[in-house]
Amino acid sequence: MNRVIRLTVALATVIACSVGVAYAAGRPVPENLPEVALQNTTEAQLPGDAEALEAALSAEGPVRYKILVIDSPEGEDPTDYLDRVAAEWGLPGPDTLYLIIYTEDNFNIRFYMGADFRAAGVDVEEMLTLVRTHYLAGKREGDVAGALADLIGAVNRRMSGDETSPGR
């Protein structure tokens, strides 16, 4: 009888864990399109200066960008969703920066840095400072695309060692 109870509890635990994993993985991760820097899965363009963003993404620089724009992580923590993207797409290459923008969360942003960032001395705190300084200010003014372009320029300048270059 004790064995039956233990087996039943073990089975219930496995089922509960499976349901939890299925619930946590609510939004599917889009396919990683290798040659696409900006992958927008929403119905709308990012508000603001789209030309500046396009120019920033096409400019030569030390960093490659993989930007994913989605409506929301559908109940999943945004950072957990970013971790799932990195798991499914593979960790970013050494010179690559993953950015995910959540449109339904006021264009909230998450990032995942490749190994070159740490080698250049860029840690999470410095990247957060770059995001606050170059992305959040423009985003608050409604220029999400322009703010993203400004962030890309700032990251490129930092990674090339030219921190005194003018902004966008």
Please report whether residue 6 resides in a domain.
Answer: no
The mean per-residue pLDDT over the stretch 89-100 comes to 96
Q: Where residue 25 falls among pLDDT bands split at 50, 70, 90? A: low
Please report whether residue 47 resides in a domain.
Answer: yes
pLDDT for the residue numbered 43: 87
| Structural domain harbouring 151 | 30-160
The mean per-residue pLDDT over the stretch 133-139 comes to 95
Please report whether residue 58 resides in a domain.
Answer: yes
User: What CATH number does residue 145 fall under?
Assistant: 3.10.310.50
Please report whether residue 11 resides in a domain.
Answer: no
Please report whether residue 152 resides in a domain.
Answer: yes
- Pure H helices in 25-143: 50-58, 78-89, 115-119, 124-130, 137-140
Cα 97 to Cα 116: distance, rounded to the nearest angstrom: 10
Burial of 46 (0-12, 13-18, 19+ CB in 10 A): buried
Please report whether residue 89 resides in a domain.
Answer: yes
Give the total residue count for the chain.
168
Bridging pattern class, strands 96-102 and 108-113: antiparallel
Q: In the chain, how many domains are there?
A: 1
Q: What percent of the chain has pLDDT over 90?
A: 71
Q: Is the pLDDT of residue 142 over 80?
A: yes
Q: Where residue 17 falls among pLDDT bands split at 50, 70, 90? A: very low
pLDDT for the residue numbered 94: 97
Q: Where residue 129 falls among pLDDT bands split at 50, 70, 90? A: very high
Which of 30-34, 38-42, 95-99, 112-116 is predicted least confidently?
30-34
Q: How far is CA 119 from CA 8, 32, 62, in A?
A: 51, 25, 13
- Token pair 């040659």 in the structure block, residue: 35
Q: How far is CA 60 from CA 64, 146, 163, in A?
A: 9, 18, 16
pLDDT for the residue numbered 33: 86
Please report whether residue 49 resides in a domain.
Answer: yes
Please report whether residue 16 resides in a domain.
Answer: no
- 32-68 pLDDT per residue, tens: 888 889 999 998 999 999 999 999 999 999 999 999 9
